[in-house]
Amino acid sequence: MKESYEVIVVGGSFAGLSAAMQLARARREVLLIDAERPRNRFATHAHGFFGQDGVPPAQAIATATAQLRKYPTVTLLKGEAHRASREASGFRVELTNGFHVKAERLILATGICDKLPPLPGLEGRWAVSVLHCPYCHGYEVGDRRLGVLATHPLSIHQALLIPDWGPTTWFTQGTIEPDAEEVALLSARGVCIERVPVAEIMGEAPSIDGVRLVDGRVIRIDALFISVRTEMASDLAEQLGCAADEGPLGPVIRVGDFKETSVPGVFAAGDASTAMTNATFASASGVAAGVGAHRSLIFTK
């Protein structure tokens, strides 16, 4: 394979593949580097994505990768990019195996990591019965007993949403106390407020039978929604000096309309570039980044 390309895309999930597709169709030389650790690898099915509802994420990624592979100007490389730097002619990316490549433009579709709170039983149920997005997973647990675990002030917002899918208990964990107006809103939505902290998730993972509170009481639920803190899955944006903002749940790379970062020639797409995270948003941002990178090759010298 070559050592120099017009564009390097780091990350081969929904955002990175969508970005690379635009560049492939523009007949540009593009290298896609993928470590094959997408954020959605824990989910058995993806929902709400146009034309792909119910398709396993791994299957959607495999199909898109096979389609991208048919374009002659595309090179796919399995590996982890761990260093990136600016050079006079563009950017240099080094992989963990020591191999390095160069490009005029760089698209970071490196994603984020979910950081679950230290409550026993959460990790083994993540993306199955412990869920973060009702639009992605709510329909599948509809009309069942649902819980919302408070980890962040946004948990109130989540608790107000969830009753559209089923009867809801909001566990404040003794850390978030709603004001009078919020109590009224929660009551109007039929949300039961439980202030005693959850100590244990019950049932054989990945299912949930209920939760045991620190006072010994057991409350039966079938699924638990939770807003988790997130971290960047890669520090490449930081290495390059890309500006970031603190989003509601974690850092977000600052981007413009076509996903250009604060560093000329570097674009960012996917969950690392937006606080609104799901498959559709990721793919759309990848399209914008791919188009943005292509336009910059033409109009920016």
Q: Which residue carries 């039961």 as its tokens?
A: 192
Query: Nearest CA to 149 among 230, 211, 218, 220?
Result: 211
What gap in Å lies between CA 33 and CA 75, rounded to an integer? Answer: 9
CATH fold of 117-226 reads FAD/NAD(P)-binding domain (3.50.50)
What gap in Å lies between CA 169 and CA 98, rounded to an integer? Answer: 51
What gap in Å lies between CA 301 and CA 222, rounded to an integer? Answer: 56
**CATH of span 4-114+229-299:** 3.50.50.60
Same fold for the domain at 4-114+229-299 and the one at 117-226?
yes
What gap in Å lies between CA 8 and CA 93, rounded to an integer? Answer: 8
Tokens of 154: 């946004």
In the chain, where the domains are located:
4-114+229-299, 117-226
Query: Nearest CA to 13 among 60, 83, 72, 82?
Result: 60
Q: Which residue carries 């039966």 as its tokens?
A: 220
pLDDT in tens, the chain (301 residues): 789 999 999 999 999 999 999 999 999 999 999 998 888 888 888 888 888 898 999 999 999 999 999 999 999 999 999 999 999 889 999 999 999 999 999 999 999 999 999 898 898 899 899 999 999 999 999 999 999 999 988 899 999 999 999 999 999 999 899 999 999 999 999 999 999 999 999 999 999 999 999 999 999 999 999 988 999 999 999 999 999 999 999 999 999 999 999 999 999 999 999 998 889 999 999 999 999 999 999 998 6
